[in-house]
Amino acid sequence: MSNLENTLNENDPGLLGTVKTTLLENPGTIVALLIILALAIVAIFAPLLAPFDPITQSMIKINRVPSWENWLGTDQFGRDVLSRVIYGSRNSLIFGLISPFCAAVVGTALGVVAGYFGGITDRVISRAIDLLLAFPELLLAIMIAAILGGGFWNVIFVITVAFVPGFARVARAQTMSVKQEPYVEAAISMGVRTPSIIFRHILPNIMAPIVILMMLWVASAIRLEAALSFLGIGTQPPNPSWGNIIRDGLNNVFGSPWPVIGAGAAITLVVLAFNLIGDAVRDALDPSTT
């Protein structure tokens, strides 16, 4: 029997092994991983990689075309576009990772509480979630951001609130399903404490769809932050963000189109990369796709 168990363990790579195999067996996901790795390196080492200060203006460098000195040219204020795009990657990485994680924590907690306890608790939480779901994510984010204004933590709060309803609905549905399993009913009948049941039986069995959703929404968080910054209610100037770089570039698109091209290409590549990774993780963790 021990030999059979060892053989099964060797043949079963586990969730992490399955995800790793799925990511590394496809050339597209390998390229996406390289793009995300490049984004992380650029964001972390931005002060070392940026050739110029992203907020320093120069009247003699206005609207320069790409050259060896300014690889992506300059904008209408004489600021180096490449340096601004490099520093703008920091916002994309920070907001793209922190906001979905915070939304996953809050939304999962609400969904588990609603699905496990049911009754009036479920009805109150569900009605609140339905109220938030009545608004599209971007519209909800714009309304909250218009009230709170820009700023680092305000933007994180705005994106988190916009994503919480989706996580809460998934967590609630999964919790209600897992709650009906015999091992959970047996634990309840044996008098096991509720926190122990939730953390030992409920959460481990609903994490796969939560992780999938969090991976897919990293790209959405990057797009949402860029949209808010483009509208002037996200990252505030002179701090660079891909969204406000595009906004400033559109005001001077005939003088220098390079801010729009540079920041637009960066958003496109990074969003596509995270979407590819999210799809691959979903295929690896979702049994219905295998």
Where do the structural domains in the chain lie, given as residue ranges?
70-289
70-289 carries CATH number 3.90.420.10: no
Q: Are 43 and 93 in contact (CB under 8 A)?
A: yes
pLDDT digits (tens, 9 = 90+) for 232-272: 888 888 888 899 899 988 888 888 899 999 999 999 999 99
Q: How many residues does the chain have?
A: 290
Confidence tier at 139 by pLDDT (50, 70, 90): confident
Mean pLDDT on 90-117:
91
Residue 2, pLDDT > 90, answer no
Instruction: Determine the pLDDT at residue 5.
Output: 40
276 near 219, Cβ under 8 Å?
Answer: no
What value does the CA radius of gyration of the chain take, rounded to a whole number of Å?
A: 23
Average pLDDT, the chain: 85
Task: Give the pLDDT band of residue 286 (cuts 50, 70, 90).
Answer: low
Mean pLDDT, to the nearest integer, of 140-159?
Answer: 84
CA angle 36, 37, 43 (to 5 degrees): 90
pLDDT for the residue numbered 283: 76
Average pLDDT score over residue span 33-46: 92
More confident residue, 289 or 148: 148
**What distance in Å separates the CA atoms of residue 22 and residue 161, rounded to the nearest whole number?**
31
Helix (H, G, I), strand (E, B) or coil at 8: helix
3-state helix, strand, coil in the chain (%, to 5): 75, 0, 20
CB neighbours of residue 238 within 10 Å: 12
Contacts of 145 (CB under 8 A, 6+ apart): 154, 155, 158, 228, 233, 234
pLDDT reading at 207 higher than 60: yes
39 by Cβ neighbours in 10 Å (0-12 / 13-18 / 19+) ranks as buried
